[in-house]
Chains A and B, each alone.
Chain A
Amino acid sequence: MRIFSLLSLFLLTGCNLRVLNPKSDTADKITNLIYLSFGLMMLVFVVVMILFVHFLKKYKETPERLNEIPGDGKESKRLEVTWTVLPILLLAVLAVPTVKATYDMTSQVSGDGGEAKAEDAITIDVVGRQYNWEFTYENGKKSVNELVLPVNQKADFKLTSEDVIHSFWVPKLSGKIDVLPGEETRLSFTPREAGVYQGKCAEFCGAEHTQMRFETKVVSQAEFQQWLKNGVEEEGE
């Protein structure tokens, strides 16, 4: 019954869930990990449920067994070893890609300061503050609550906060990275599809945390260059 309700929920929302419908290289990797871990874990869940239902059916008290006193029996070493070792193996299967992905992604995310950045990446300085986001591009262009990115080009973010802790999150494009006062964190990803994506603050940051959203527009290279110039000209005027 529970599995049924789970499935029907899936149908209701379809595969439109933002996190499961990624539009960047980094987010792709995460989504794959989510599916892998979900699959492995469903395996565990199903095994437990089968045993649970089976035992419950078979050993439920019946009128004939009202006064029966079952023996305590001895534990089976084999069984105990099985359910200790199998989960360890299962976790090992999960741990290897976890560590790999964590290293892949985190070296980009927090960046040890090493300038291993790709030649063609654009760098954007992000400042989070109660309650808006300010993005500064390499040519000095600033924009608030609107992040414009060129498609298929890597974007490197350097993030910091002016007040409390925030967290930068574009569910379709990447995982979160916290935005801390007095410190710089890093994040990077390459969007692979043009479109408009929601961005949010994911770390509770005060009264209007809810409203601390931004819009991410992934556009073609030409449109991006145009947009980039526009801003600076306006400021120049």
Chain B
Amino acid sequence: MNVPFVGQVPSDIVVSWIASALIGLFVLWWLTKYNKWPVIWEYIRTTHHRKIGTMYILVAIIFFIRGGMDALFIRTQLAVPENDFWVFQSQKYNEVFTTHGTVMIFFVAMPLLIGLMNVAVPLQIGANDLAFPYLNAVSFWLFVAGGFIFNMAFFFNAAPNAGWTAYAPLSTDTFTTGPNNNYYIFGLQVSGLGTILTAINMIVTIFRLRAPGMKLNHMPLFPWATLLTSFLILIAFPVLTIALLLLTFDRYYGTSFFIGEMGDPVYWQHLFWIFGHPEVYILILPAFGIFSDIISTFSRKKVYGYTSMVIAIAIIGLLGFMVWAHHMFTVGLGPLANSVFAITTMLIAVPTGIKIFNWLFTMRNGVVRIRTPMLFALGFIPTFVIGGVTGVMLAVAAADYQYHDSYFVVAHFHYTMIGGTILGAFAGIYYWYPKMTGKVLDEKLGRWHFWLFLIGFHLTFMPQHFAGLNGMPRRVYTYSWEDGIFLLNFISTVGAFLMGASMLFVAWNLYKTHRLTDPVGGDPWDGRTLEWSVGSPSPEHPFEPVNQVDRLDAFWHAKVKGEEVPKAEDARPSPIAVKTLQPVILSIILVFMSIGFIYHWISLQVLGGAAVIAYLIIRSITDERKEVYEKEEEG
């Protein structure tokens, strides 16, 4: 196996190389002209949660553009029957939907949410930073490295092509030769490690760094969602790690866990979905948390049923581990297994319903102010309910024999993932934008973005339910006139381009906001939680001294009384911030090491391994605690 040279390189790749080179040159020129290099230098060495969170979101948006372009290619190819758009048929089409799915889940949805957690959670609980700032930088750079590895595949004409679920035996080297799915494995391994480390960081932060007096049930719901999500990550991601490890052995070292007479392809499905189903709750729970905070703020009321909201998140998380086989109803696990998993799946509707009603009743008797973040939260409710009810329909195991792997399922999970996670991420970005940059995004353009996106979204995905019911399987690159799904698909394509167009308003909004508007104060939304008590953008170590908190929405109640949040007397020491290049260097090492694995270059693998060990040693020796402890011992 070798990196292909020019010759039979498909034209989309050539175009991408040229486009990337031009954009790269432009960025370099821009950075130099406006003297932005010091900013870059500052950010790549930072361990500050707000800066890292901002970078998470920025990088996620870059991947979002990539995944979004994939989506538009998919929709263009499917716009009319028997279409031959550019190169996107057969294997090329398979590559596009594989990267679309993987990129959107792992390199867009996850980092957008983790980015928002980074920005908001420490501030919301009155902490000066995450518990392990250095580790946080490592997590971020591992995510970047993973995303880089995964996206690199396309540029070397080797994009993964076994679907984001990488079902065996298709994903083994017998049926998908070439480096394509090696990229998938190593991209996910590297970024997955980063995600696990983030989860640990969040849990410790929330357990140990809350402001004095703040009990767990004084926390806003976003930190709650973050805490429970982190536990889901902690349990689910290691399963993926091992599943990928076993797949690696099948692809590299001749074992046959998932293939052949001894192997069991269904075992891959079990492992993948034991990870994969909690994963979708990992993606949705933080969005729930964001919506809770936003709906409460913009209704000027405490969130309705706080306790039941927390319990509902916990139950959803718990049930999330007991429903994985509903992705496998048609495998033939037998009626008992199918019935049990059908019922547990249906049960998830109960806590989710509780949350929906609590949100609605938060608005009741409130003063509902409709600003862009709230608009996204309001758009979320009906959209997500549609996704939820189709979820219950899918849980009906026998009926799923019809829906399974059809466009009905495609419609369903886009309703939950876009209607929940992406709307949540947008809402959160609009909401906390002042905390990241010190400015509020333009309201009018925000509304344009919202309405175009929402209408485009429903146009895209509502018809897909019917395409599925009319017999359109997912992951097909074309269909015939007789299939009777032309109109449905055409509407879908129009909707997709509308969603694409709505993103142009985001770009315009960013430009306008930064060129034309003035900075705002610490509390532009009349907020309720602690992050609004500090300046915008949030300074490093903003709580010095830290607050004393004794109730939910402490900032709001102090504000109503015309007071400040009281300061704590005996606070714990804050985490240590450093400036370091080590995390970036680690991520570069891992990129090279992964390339060594992807192309079976053993010397590079060994070199990479040695470099990782060297990194660990240097890290231990240059531990930032050394100085602090030395001072302590002297004093």
Contacts and interface: CB of A to CB of B under 8 A. Distances in A.
| Touch A–B, Cβ below 8 Å | yes
Contact of A12 (B333, B397, B487): B487
A60 B371 CA distance: 11
A180 B265 contact: yes
Interface string A98-136: 110111111101101000000000000000001000000
B535 interface: no
Contacts of B332: 109-110, 177-178, 180, 183, 185-186
A30 B396 CA distance: 9
Interface in A1-31: 2, 5-6, 9-10, 12-13, 16-20, 27, 29-30
Nearest to B401: A175
Contacts of B488: 9, 13
Interface in A49-77: 49, 51-52, 55-56, 58-61, 65, 68-73, 75
A146 interface: no
Nearest to B557: A72
Given A48-B385, A209-B476, A204 B346 contact: no
Given A59-B366, A102-B339, A165-B167, A70 B393 contact: no
A176 interface: yes
B350 A6 contact: no
Interface string A162-178: 01110101011011111
B398 A175 contact: yes
Interface stretch (A86-94, A137-145, A149-157, A224-232): A86-94
Contacts of B366: 59, 70
A177 B332 CA distance: 7
Contacts of A58: 364
A91 B349 CA distance: 9
A194 interface: no
Interface in B178-211: none
Contacts of A112: 334
Interface in A166-220: 167, 169, 171-172, 174-178, 180-183, 185-186, 198, 200-210
B91 interface: yes
B300 interface: yes
Contacts of B483: 198
Contacts of A27: 402
B50 interface: no
B310 to A, nearest CB: 13
Nearest to B389: A41
B381 to A, nearest CB: 6
Nearest to A34: B399
Contacts of B360: 48, 51-52, 55
Contacts of B404: 167, 175-176, 202
Nearest to A3: B382
Interface stretch (B129-137, B226-234, B466-474): B466-474
A237 interface: no
B39 interface: no
A178 B399 contact: no
Contact of B393 (A34, A106, A201): A34
Contacts of A178: 330-332
Contacts of A208: 90
B37 interface: no
A95 B346 contact: yes
A223 to B, nearest CB: 22
A181 B265 contact: yes
Contact of A33 (B346, B347, B396, B458): B396
B304 interface: yes
B346 A70 contact: no
B478 A99 contact: no
B475 interface: yes
A164 B175 contact: yes
B477 interface: yes
B213 interface: no
Given A44-B385, A204-B163, A169 B473 contact: yes
Interface in B370-385: 370, 378, 381-382, 385
B357 interface: yes
Interface string B254-271: 000001110001100000
Given A73-B365, A165-B169, A206-B175, A29 B381 contact: no
Given A18-B469, A56-B378, A70-B366, A202 B405 contact: yes
B356 interface: yes
B367 A41 contact: no
A106 B329 CA distance: 10
B305 interface: yes
B302 interface: yes
Nearest to B175: A164
B399 A30 contact: yes
A16 B398 contact: no
B349 A87 contact: yes
A175 B330 contact: yes
A74 B350 CA distance: 22
A51 B359 CA distance: 11
A13 B487 contact: yes
A41 B360 CA distance: 18
A99 to B, nearest CB: 5
Q: Ordered nearest first, which 5 A-B pairs have the shortest CB separation?
A: A175-B401, A41-B389, A171-B471, A106-B335, A101-B398
Given A68-B367, A98-B343, 19 more contacts: A6-B462, A45-B386, A48-B360, A48-B385, A56-B368, A60-B368, A70-B301, A72-B301, A94-B346, A99-B339, A167-B404, A175-B398, A175-B401, A178-B332, A182-B260, A200-B473, A202-B406, A204-B162, A210-B476
8 contacts: A41-B392, A56-B363, A68-B300, A80-B308, A164-B170, A176-B405, A206-B94, A208-B90
